[in-house]
Amino acid sequence: MPKSAKKRKAKRADFNKVKLKVGKKLPKADNVTDTSFKSKAIHLPDQLKTDASQPTNFKQQNVKDLLTQCNHYSASVRHEAVTGLKDLLVRHPAAIPAHLSLVLEKCSELFVDKDPVVRKAAIGLLCHTFSQASTNQISPFFPLITAHLCCAMTHIFEDIRHDSLTVLDACLEHFPSLLTSRSGQILTNFVGQISSMKDKGVKKDATSSSHRLSVNPNSKLTSLQWRSKVLNRLHHFLKAMLSESVSTGDRQTGDVGKKGFVDEIFDGSRPLYVQVFPYSTSSSSTGFLIGSKTPSTASLFSLREFAESLLPLLLETWVEGSPGGEGQSLVRADVSDLLQGVLDVLGLLWQCLQHREQDKQQDPTKTSFLHQYKNIHLHLMSGFPYMVMEQSKKGKGPQRDQSGGTNVQASLIMNLSICDVMTCSLEQDSDGTAAEWLDTVFDYLVSCLSDVDDNSADHMENVLRVIQHVIKVLPKQDLCEDLLTAVHNCYQSEEISDRTRQQIVHFLAQTYLQRDPGLQKSEVLTNWVASLPHYLVTMDTANQQQTEEVLHVVQSAATRGHSCMVENLMANFQNIYGVGGLLCSLSPPLQRHLVQLLYHLPLLGGLKLSTLSQACRQREVGVPVVEYLVQILLARSPVMAVCEEGTPPVDTPRILSFLMSLMIGHSVEELKDLQQETSRPDVWVPGCRTQISCVSLELRHRQKALAKFTCECLLQFSSPDQVWKVVGAVLERYLGMFHTLPMDTLYAVLVAMVMLLHPGTEIRKELMTPIMHCCWAALDLSIHNRIPVSDRETEVAEENWQGELLHAALQTMASSQGVVQSWLEHIEAFVKEGTERCNTEAVAKVLLKLMQTPELQRPLQQTGVLQRVVGTVMVCLREDENEKLLSSMVYQASLIK
């Protein structure tokens, strides 16, 4: 049956041409893609917030995010994380204690990172963390750091092993004690960095090692350069190890029984944070117990293994870098650092062994060193003395291989190091092997001392250090004397600089103070010590340390009875103890040392005591030093029972004269100058014969202390009556000659009257009148405050001192009724003469002060002339119409009737 028309039309519809008409919209195709879309806003407020409680870096990253990124597979992300973590700790130093464990753990893991940039950033983070943390904060985590450091030092990759030395430098710089406590782990890694294990079939003898030097042709550094770097770090590590062992031994001496306990003071006002760690004794330490008296078996074995493995490797390294052949002494510049590193490590290793040993004959570690003695002597002394060449010049063609001259400084350091190493085992030289090289070393040291100039101070310290070591272990005393002669000749040379001479003085002083029995009779040291008094006068006193050292030598020599030195000290007495001499230019502690020498000097005559008296009056010499000097003089005089000498160096009349001169405070020449007509007194008291000259407040306080101390010394004499006769005669002579007195002398006179005049002792009229005028001058000065001041602070100080002066004057008058009687009669005659009204008022104020003093009321009443004197003064006061002062005087006079 044929298809219908409808079906045929539908079939042709897919192939019909579409007729386009103008104005009609083009119909869409059946396969058109719908590109329309709808959007809605998404709000995430929690993700936009920042936690202000946590510290962040410049990228707003906190510690947790950065530590997570440190484990990222990308090296750049790890590097950014480490640098960001360092930036965060720099911005927020307070965050270090809270995150210290996490930071150190992550930083230690990156020691062995494959990327060098990440390792460098990790080391920088470690250095910053070390600089901001204390030893107590780092110590709990240091075993972890040490473990990762050991992994880095023995890593299979060369560049990681190189960077491990930088980590070691950081630990040595900030926490050497913590690193050396793990020396048992660290030291063996040094051996592994420059060597490898020998095959099992290779036989070993007593002088061979189980290791052999390793060579890597593919390394960025040559084998010699790499060994030089490793030996340099080993030298610093052994140095820190030795230093820590010495300090630990000193602490153990005074801290026995305190192990495991920590003395801490807690502040209750602050929150307390306690971190608990398991208790461990010192026996669990993995370090070599260099300074321990009872080292464990494991530590002894480790140190012995290390020494036996290292010494042959050091000698092999020396053979590789040293000049080949017997008598060859030219050392290339590129291997000089390596050879110097070998010598430094040898010297320090010997010091470590010497410090730890108890019995030199039974120490297996030191024995292993002595087994290598012949090899050390054979290799080190083959071309001695060596000459290190300068670095080759850079250029092209024939100039490229041209070498410069000799590096004198490097050559000297290397040769001195060889001398030091060779003398280490000199005292164990039983077969006479040292005779082969000892003369060579001796001649070289003498040549170093003879060839000195202005620039020799840079190496002189090393030369003297080696010489001191040689003298200490040298078995032949005649060679020691020859070395000391060479040193002394260098000391006397005029061509050396002051710094070099100071270095030699330090060396000779240390040698003399060691009290070596073999050097006690050294003629060189004896002559040098005898010349020290002259050197004290000419030396630069700015170097306080050396001045103290020289004074210590002089005192030690004086104690030992060095007669020549004592004679030279007496010959230079004026330049040492005189005005402007050495005593006045030193600091107080050194002045005390210099004063101690007076105890060992022979007879001290009047001239010597006069020199000391003038020096004691100088303000550069403090009061404690003066008091110490007086005590020494008293101890050497018959006054004290300490003096056991047949003829005392200081007799009683001279010590009395010295004490009185010290109490007066001024020389006779100075007092005579004040009496001149051209020099008017600063404070003029009307009617009083004693006038006053002002001195500074500092000098007044100084003289006040000395006056009281001098009077206390005078009270120690066995016969007080005779002492007072001497004191009274001196005061009578001084006050009769000088009417114008300095303030400090006036106070000293009154203090002497108060402290030395016993009750009931009669005063001669020749002394009573001057004392009365001194009291009048002191009272008038204190009551009327005649000293002008510039500021409030000075005014308060002046009032305090004038109060003490007033108290001394009142006590002096209260101690003698004759002084009060003489003063009343004198002022009565003075007022009757018709003096000016202002002067009468000044006298009335002084009289009123006396009547108001309870201690003086009875002496005033017993005079019998008080009422008459008061009446005379009141007549003049009525004319002046001073009612207040008049009424006060009437009232006080009525109380004393």
Peptide bond into 385 cis (omega under 30): yes
**How confident is the model over 510-523, as a mean pLDDT?**
78
Residue 439 structure tokens: 């003369």
Confidence at residue 455, expressed as pLDDT on a 0 to 100 scale = 61
Nearest to 756 by CA among 784, 714, 789: 714
> What is the spatial distance between Cα 168 and Cα 230, in angstroms, rounded to a whole number?
11
Is it the case that residue 280 has pLDDT exceeding 50? Answer: no
Distance CA 738, CA 754 (A): 21
- The first and second tokens of residue 254, run together, are 């005074």
Which range, 121-130, 396-405, 490-499, is most confident?
Answer: 121-130
For residues 417 and 386, the answer to whether their CB atoms sit within 8 Å is no
CB contact set of 334 (below 8 Å; sequence gap of 6+): 224, 391
pLDDT digits (tens, 9 = 90+) for 645-704: 556 778 888 888 899 999 998 888 888 888 875 567 777 887 788 888 888 888 989 999
Short-list 490, 596, 507, 500, CA closest to 549: 507
Nearest to 322 by CA among 343, 336, 310: 336
* Cβ atoms of 659 and 627 closer than 8 Å: no
Among the listed residues 134, 132, 121, 135, the one whose alpha carbon sits nearest the alpha carbon of residue 167: 121
CA–CA dist 447, 178 (Å, integer): 43
What pLDDT score does 629 carry? 92
Residue showing tokens 């780092």: 138
For residue 399, what are the CA distances in angstroms to 188, 327, 388, 810? 44, 28, 20, 98
pLDDT at 708: 92
Q: Evaluate if residue 405 carries a pLDDT over 80.
A: no
Residue 775 sits at φ, ψ, to 5 deg, of: -65, -40
Q: What is the pLDDT of residue 330?
A: 84
Q: Which tokens belong to 271?
A: 């929150």
Residue 601, sorted as left (phi over 0), alpha (psi -120 to 50) or beta, turns out to be: beta
Q: Please state, in angstroms and rounded to a whole number, the distance separating the CA atoms of residues 648 and 652.
A: 9
Q: What is the pLDDT of residues 614-654, one digit of tens each?
A: 999 888 999 999 999 999 988 888 876 555 555 677 888 88
Percent of the chain with pLDDT over 70: 81
pLDDT of residue 468: 84
Q: 828 pLDDT exceeds 70? A: yes
More confident of the two residues 498 and 646? 498
Compute the distance between CA of residue 774 and CA of residue 795 in angstroms, rounded to an integer.
Answer: 23
Q: In terms of Cα–Cα distance, which of 629, 525, 652 is closest to 576?
A: 629
Tokens 């006068």 map to which residue? 537
- Using CA atoms, how far apart are residues 633 and 627, in angstroms rounded to an integer? 10
Torsion of Cα atoms, 493 then 495 then 497 then 498, to 10°? 40
Mean of the pLDDT values across residues 253-269?
A: 40
Q: Rounded to an integer, what distance in angstroms lies between the CA atom of residue 281 and that of residue 690?
A: 79
Work out the pLDDT band at 45, boundaries 50, 70, 90: low
In this predicted structure, the answer to whether residue 788 has a pLDDT above a threshold of 70 is no
All residues at 6 or more sequence positions from 870 whose CB lies less than 8 Å from its CB, including other chains:
847, 889, 893
The neighbouring-strand residues paired with 740 are 691
CA dist list (Å): 729 to 140, 363, 665: 78, 77, 17
> CA-CA-CA-CA torsion for 422, 424, 425, 427, nearest 10 degrees?
120
Q: Who contacts 95 (Cβ-Cβ below 8 Å, separation ≥6)?
A: 55, 63, 88, 89
Whether 327 contacts 382, CB under 8 Å = yes
Task: Let me know: does 462 contact 412? Beta carbons within 8 Å.
Answer: yes
On the question of pLDDT at 807 being above 70, the answer is yes
Q: Give the pairing of strands 195-197 and 211-213.
A: antiparallel
* Residue 832 or residue 290, greater confidence: 832
- Give dist(CA 752, CA 771) in Å, integer: 11
Q: How far apart are CA 766 and CA 737, in angstroms?
A: 12
Q: What was the pLDDT predicted at 136?
A: 92
pLDDT for position 293 = 39
pLDDT of amino acid 197: 74
Helix axes 697-714, 792-815, angle to 10 degrees: 30
Tokens of 163: 């960077």
* Cα dihedral: 7, 12, 13, 15 (round 10): 160
The answer on pLDDT for 518 being more than 70 is no
The CATH code that applies to domain 63-174 is: 1.25.10.10
CA neighbor of 457 nearest in space, from 416, 487, 502, 418: 502
Contact indicator for 598, 633 with CB cutoff of 8 Å: yes
d(CA 557, CA 551): 10
| Residue 211: strand pairing partners | 197
Q: What 3 state SS string does 439-477 have?
A: HHHHHHHHHHHHCCCCCCHHHHHHHHHHHHHHHHHCCCH
Q: Quick one: which H or E segment has residue 691?
A: strand 691-693
* Partner residues linked to 692 by β-bridges: 683, 741
Largest Cα–Cα distance of the chain, in whole Å?
181
Q: pLDDT by residue (tens digit) across 94-129?
A: 888 888 999 999 999 999 999 999 999 999 999 999
- Omega cis (within 30) before 364: no
3-class SS letters over 125-168? HHHHHHHHCCHHHHHHHHHHHHHHHHHHHCCCCHHHHHHHHHHH
Residue 792's Cβ-count burial label (10 Å; 0-12, 13-18, 19+) is: exposed
Q: The tokens 């007033």 sit on which residue? A: 806
8 Å CB contact between 467 and 508: no
* Eight-state DSSP code of residue 15: G
Place of tokens 């660290």: 186
The type of residue at 175 is F
**Residue 84 contacts residue 106 (beta carbons within 8 Å):** no
Helix 142-153 vs helix 158-174: crossing angle, to nearest 10 = 150
Structure tokens at 564: 């020549």
Cα 484 from chain centroid?
Answer: 30
pLDDT in tens, 530-564: 999 998 888 877 788 888 889 999 998 888 888 89
What is the rounded distance in angstroms from the CA atom of residue 308 to the CA atom of residue 710? 71
Helix (H, G, I), strand (E, B) or coil at 312: helix
Please count the other Cβ atoms lying within 10 Å of the Cβ belonging to residue 1: 3
pLDDT value, residue 255: 46
CA atoms within 13 A on the CB side of 93: 5
Q: How far apart are CA 333 and CA 408, in angstroms?
A: 12
Listed in sequence order, the residues at least 6 apart from 211 whose beta carbon sits closer than 8 Å to its beta carbon are 191, 195, 196, 197, 198, 309, 312, 313
pTM of structure? 0.72
At 168, the pLDDT band (50, 70, 90 cuts) reads very high
Instruction: Read off the pLDDT band of 406 (50, 70, 90).
Output: confident
Q: Where are the alpha helices (DSSP H) in 514-543?
A: 523-530, 532-538
| Cα–Cα nearest to 872, from 816, 833, 819, 814 | 833
